[in-house]
Amino acid sequence: MPAPRILAVLVALAAIVALPFALRPKEDQLAKADDTLVIVTPHNEAIRFEFARAFARHYRAATGRSVRIDWRTPGGTSEIARYLASEYLAAFRLHWERDLHRTWGAEIEMGFQNARIAPDDSPADDTPDVAARRAFLASDAGCGIDLFFGGGSYDFSIQAEAGRLVASGVLDGKREWFGDAAIPQTLGGEPYWDPKGRWIGTCLSAFGICYNRDALQRLGIERPPAAWADLGTPAYFGQVAVADPTKSGSIAKAFELLIQQQMQEAWQAHAGLGPEERERRAVREGWAAGIRLIQRIAANARYFTDAASKIPIDVALGDAAAGMSIDFYGRTQSEAVRVADGSSRMEYLTPVGGSSVGVDPIGLLRGAPSPGVARAFMEFVMSIDGQKLWNFRPGTPGGPERFALRRLPIRKELYDPSYREFVSDPEVRPYEEAAKFDYRAAWTAPLFRTVSFAVRVMCLDPHDELRSAWSALVEAGMPAEALAEFERIEGIEYDAAATTIRELLRSGDKLAEVRLARALGDGFRARYRRAERLAKESAR
């Protein structure tokens, strides 16, 4: 290549590399902020932008100082939980060895974040694990992050019990915000804030179904789905979008609520029994019915994605006919594809009696570098001005600047008729919806991780065999013997789930967990193959 041409290519490459720097603002205002707040969150960019912008303005007016928010986004709530556990392990080990001059060991590592250890008033009698727990709860060992913002109440309860979340002072300082008139402590069985003030719900969310009208018409499905059970019918084979509950805490919650609904239906069916026997049957029969419904939905699944936010996008595009979705993801995507006449090819619904209304909390992390700024942010998020950001339309008084967040504020005052003209979803009444579902935490909350494990071994690991068996069953007209083989849930029945599996998952023994998952997965894989063979034989 002639020298002039080489020179021209080099100049062009240099221009391409330099262009982003040339277009970068000359002054980085965030870098010059007086204060910095570090927040770890699963929230999307729109939420981060609107709250950062609004809080910076509020903070300047209240203090005369500028503030920078350093957002940390390692992934969903499951990834955040692993990240926090790892960071606190490193921080406490440094405190234990450097500040306390004590020797690290396996008992220390297993004990300091163990919520089941409750130190008494006699530290002299402490075993090593109890001593580690006592030292951690008395320490300011931190991970360099101030706040955990967004997720579910279960995720935050786990962080609080481990000792990684601490009381922020907001609950005691703003008592008028907390009560039946504004933010109830519980509703429909779901907790809305921690009585010790370690976390507080900021907005409301439910779970439901998003569906594509055009795709349903193409498949010949005349009525849109209205209940979880609809997604398990043969008409949706290969057309359901589902997220992996081992990666998405929100979808894990949706699966838990699906099972809870089946338990409540069984509870109603056994109304004539005594309380103890009625509950015993309800939880076991409901568990089995829920697990089998999940099995059918998974058999219809087009895929299992790591990101719950992907589902409504794919449904809107027609890549799937329906999917399990968080309410605000579904509503946001429905709005995004709405046309001029007001119609949308994608809709979202919360199945009646199929979901509780939970919260996305915020909490102060132990050892927060800027606890004062963190509390100011929490108070802003919980204030009327902060709450308006969740569901007000962009450009309305007090609303967001660019993005309609399509979330539901937790404070009841925001559902006053005087605000209806400003909000994105004036027809949604979450406090009324919450009254339609009585979440009984004792039935399923202790099995939250177990549900995800069961879905993994029954649906994710043997998904090819599951789909193949289901296809054969559908084609053969659901022969009884083959269907019975398909629906065998040996190894993950309620009693096994509530004892063996739950205790193993709580033990932290990853090797034993892998062994059990492989054994159970192999068992389901073999049963699916037998079910497929029986279905094909019956069709001959």
241-285, pLDDT tens digit by residue? 999 998 888 888 899 999 999 999 999 999 999 999 999 999 999
Q: How confident is the model at residue 3 (pLDDT cuts 50, 70, 90)?
A: low
Half-sphere exposure of 136 (CA within 13 A, CB side): 33
Q: Is residue 250 part of a domain?
A: yes
Statement to judge: residues 413 and 453 lie in one domain: no
Cα–Cα distance, 22 to 467 (Å, whole number): 53
Query: How do 322-326 and 240-243 pair as beta strands?
Result: parallel
Dihedral of CA atoms 270, 275, 279, 285 in degrees, nearest 10, equals: -20
The pLDDT value given to residue 219: 95
Tell me which H or E stretch contains 439: none
The pLDDT value given to residue 17: 43
Q: Which residues contact 307 (CB under 8 A, 6 or more apart)?
A: 76, 243, 247, 248
What is the length of the chain?
540
Q: Is residue 420 part of a domain?
A: yes
Statement to judge: residues 420 and 470 lie in one domain: no
Kindly state the tokens that stand for 378. 């929490």
The pLDDT value given to residue 400: 96
The separation between CA 244 and the C-alpha centre of its own chain, rounded to angstroms, equals 11
Query: Is the model's pLDDT at 377 over the cut of 90?
Result: yes
Statement to judge: residues 151 and 187 lie in one domain: yes
Mean pLDDT over residues 2-15, rounded? 48
The pLDDT value given to residue 180: 87
Residues of the domain holding 523: 207-355+439-538
Q: How confident is the model at residue 20 (pLDDT cuts 50, 70, 90)?
A: very low
Q: How confident is the model at residue 141 (pLDDT cuts 50, 70, 90)?
A: very high
448-501, pLDDT tens digit by residue? 999 999 999 999 999 999 999 999 999 999 999 999 999 999 999 999 999 999
Q: Is residue 249 part of a domain?
A: yes
Tell me which H or E stretch contains 138: none
Statement to judge: residues 332 and 452 lie in one domain: yes
| Sheet-wide strand order for 207-212 | 301-305, 240-243, 322-326, 207-212, 346-349
Token pair 């969903």 is found at 76
Statement to judge: residues 417 and 272 lie in one domain: no
Cα–Cα distance, 171 to 198 (Å, whole number): 9
Statement to judge: residues 453 and 418 lie in one domain: no
34-47, pLDDT tens digit by residue? 999 999 999 989 99
The pLDDT value given to residue 437: 84
Q: Is residue 43 part of a domain?
A: no
Exposure string over 361-386, b if 16+ CB within 10 A, otherwise e: bbbbbbbbebbebbbbbbbbbbeeeb
350-364, pLDDT tens digit by residue? 988 888 899 999 999
Angle CA 168–169–171, to nearest 5 = 105
Query: Is the model's pLDDT at 374 over the cut of 90?
Result: yes
Q: Is residue 382 part of a domain?
A: yes
Statement to judge: residues 367 and 454 lie in one domain: no
Statement to judge: residues 324 and 459 lie in one domain: yes
DSSP 3-state assignment of 208? Answer: strand
Q: How confident is the model at residue 76 (pLDDT cuts 50, 70, 90)?
A: confident
Query: Is the model's pLDDT at 384 over the cut of 90?
Result: yes
Statement to judge: residues 181 and 96 lie in one domain: yes
Residue ending a domain, choose from 401, 418, 433: 433
Query: Is the model's pLDDT at 30 over the cut of 50?
Result: no
Residue ending a domain, choose from 379, 404, 433: 433
Cα–Cα distance, 70 to 58 (Å, whole number): 17
Please state the domain count of the chain. 2
Cα–Cα distance, 98 to 21 (Å, whole number): 43
The pLDDT value given to residue 539: 77
Task: Give me the CATH number covering residue 348.
Answer: 3.40.190.10
Exposure string over 431-443, b if 16+ CB within 10 A, otherwise e: eebbeebebbbeb
The pLDDT value given to residue 22: 39
Cα–Cα distance, 313 to 307 (Å, whole number): 11
Q: Helix 77-94 to helix 128-137 angle, to the nearest 10 degrees?
A: 100
Q: Is residue 199 part of a domain?
A: yes
Cα–Cα distance, 395 to 360 (Å, whole number): 25
How many CB atoms neighbour CB 421 within 10 A?
9
Q: Is residue 35 part of a domain?
A: no
Q: Which residues contact 196 (CB under 8 A, 6 or more apart)?
A: 160, 167, 171
Statement to judge: residues 174 and 213 lie in one domain: no
Token pair 């939250």 is found at 448
The pLDDT value given to residue 15: 43
Cα–Cα distance, 266 to 284 (Å, whole number): 9
List the alpha helices (DSSP H) in 190-304.
213-219, 249-269, 275-300
Could you write out the DSSP letters of every residue in 311-363? HHHHHHHTSSSEEEEEHHHHHHHHHHTB-TTS-BSEEEEPPTTS---EEEEEE
DSSP label at 27? S
Query: Is the model's pLDDT at 183 over the cut of 70?
Result: yes
Closest by CA position to 374, among listed 182, 170, 221, 520: 170
The pLDDT value given to residue 28: 46
Terminal C-alpha separation, the chain: 70
Query: Is the model's pLDDT at 518 over the cut of 50?
Result: yes
Q: How confident is the model at residue 185 (pLDDT cuts 50, 70, 90)?
A: very high
Token pair 């010949």 is found at 220
Q: How confident is the model at residue 1 (pLDDT cuts 50, 70, 90)?
A: low
Query: Is the model's pLDDT at 335 over the cut of 90?
Result: no
Give the pTM: 0.81
Q: How confident is the model at residue 6 (pLDDT cuts 50, 70, 90)?
A: low
Q: Is residue 399 part of a domain?
A: yes
The pLDDT value given to residue 23: 35
Residue ending a domain, choose from 433, 462, 497: 433
Statement to judge: residues 344 and 482 lie in one domain: yes
Statement to judge: residues 243 and 194 lie in one domain: no
Task: Give me the CATH number covering residue 149.
Answer: 3.40.190
